[in-house]
Amino acid sequence: MSFSILNAPAHGQLEYFIDLARQTAPMPTAIIHPVDDNSLQAALEAHQQRLIEAVLVGPRQKIEACAERCDLDISALRLVDVPHSHAAAAEACTLVHRQEVRALMKGGLSTDEVLSAVLDKSNGIRTDRRLSHLFVFDVPLYPKPLFLTDAAINISPSLADKKDMVQNAIDFCLALGIAQPKVAILAAVEKVNPKMQSTLDAAALCKMADRGQICGGLLDGPLALDNAISAEAAADKHIRSAVAGDVDILLAPDLEAANMLGKQLIYLAGAKSAGLVLGAQVPLILTSRAEKTQGRLASCALAALFMQPKEAA
């Protein structure tokens, strides 16, 4: 199937992703330890909407008790019975190795437990690439999907970490049909300042892209947020850039900056969000406990769209 998010409307982008994913085959997805109401309901709804083919991995007794408490019919879903959350995370990775699932979704366990299993040296599903979280936003005042990394995993990323974070985000956008994603390396200022590490990293990342160490995207930085988002703001500061004002991907200096920016977009700008963790053998759907149903479904849809071109290749 051929698709591109370039056709996404200015608004209602998450709904558009969900509609696109419904046109693909449901993606086999391991739901890890779905013993809480939110994760089990989200898994069942995503399964019913044919976004995923849900495989529930966890203690049968607890999962069935949760289903009974929430009045959910999970009889059509495959259930892999394991004794506890640690075993559920490990078994989910085993299912990836067996090629029985093509994505993982966090249930009622901590993110640390999931990542520990993913990164395990003997049974994990890590790659040579650093794991990183990617937010996807539908921002009312921005005309296309806006991607932000990393608001959830890499606390104080090194230059090497940022290289992988950028490449993960670029690869994701390429898979969704953006031919040359535009990446803004964010800082507080637009000029390289030896006293500000974020500006030095930005300059290095741009040169790495020039030398082919980062592929597939167009990078610029350091850029402050205003001139990354607004062509008018960039012009006022006499910044000549093919990225400024038309950015697809924002790379924040660290997790705190990304996390605050992401929550500002949601709670002050009315943005809708979805998110994934990239860099493993399969995408990880790690939604927040506060995430609404639409965000959970959109995250499943984006994982399915990300993996779908690889099936067709």
List alpha helices for the chain, DSSP H.
13-22, 37-48, 60-70, 85-97, 111-118, 159-175, 197-210, 225-229, 231-236, 255-267, 293-312
Look at residue 299 and tell me if it is in a domain.
no
- Report the candidate in 145, 150, 144, 147 with the shortest Cα–Cα distance to residue 163: 150
Question: Is 287 exposed, middle or buried (CB count within 10 Å of its CB: 0-12, 13-18, 19+)?
Answer: buried
- Report the candidate in 111, 7, 22, 42 with the shortest Cα–Cα distance to residue 301: 22
- What pLDDT is stored for residue 311 in this prediction? 45
CA distance 127 to 149: 19
CA distance 76 to 89: 22
Amino acid present at 214: I
Tokens of residue 187, six digits: 């800082």
How far is the CA of 222 from the CAs of 42, 62, 105, 173, 264, in angstroms?
A: 39, 50, 34, 21, 21
**What is the value of pTM for the model shown?**
0.92
CA distance 16 to 76: 27
Asked if 170 and 217 count as a contact pair (C-beta separation under 8 A), the reply is yes
CA distance 108 to 145: 29
Look at residue 311 and tell me if it is in a domain.
no
- What pLDDT is stored for residue 313 in this prediction? 36
Number of domains into which the chain is organized: 1
Look at residue 161 and tell me if it is in a domain.
yes
CA distance 296 to 69: 21
> In this structure, what CATH number is given to the domain that contains residue 180?
3.40.718.10
- For 92, phi then psi, to 5°, come to -60, -40
Amino acid present at 9: P
Look at residue 89 and tell me if it is in a domain.
no
10-residue mean pLDDT series, the chain (313 residues): 60 88 93 92 93 96 95 94 96 97 93 94 95 96 94 96 98 93 96 96 97 97 94 90 94 97 95 95 83 82 84 40
- What pLDDT is stored for residue 290 in this prediction? 59
Look at residue 21 and tell me if it is in a domain.
no
Look at residue 85 and tell me if it is in a domain.
no
- Compute the C-alpha angle 188/259/105, nearest 5°: 145
Domain of residue 187, residue span: 128-279
Look at residue 64 and tell me if it is in a domain.
no
The three-state secondary structure class of 213 is coil
Look at residue 192 and tell me if it is in a domain.
yes
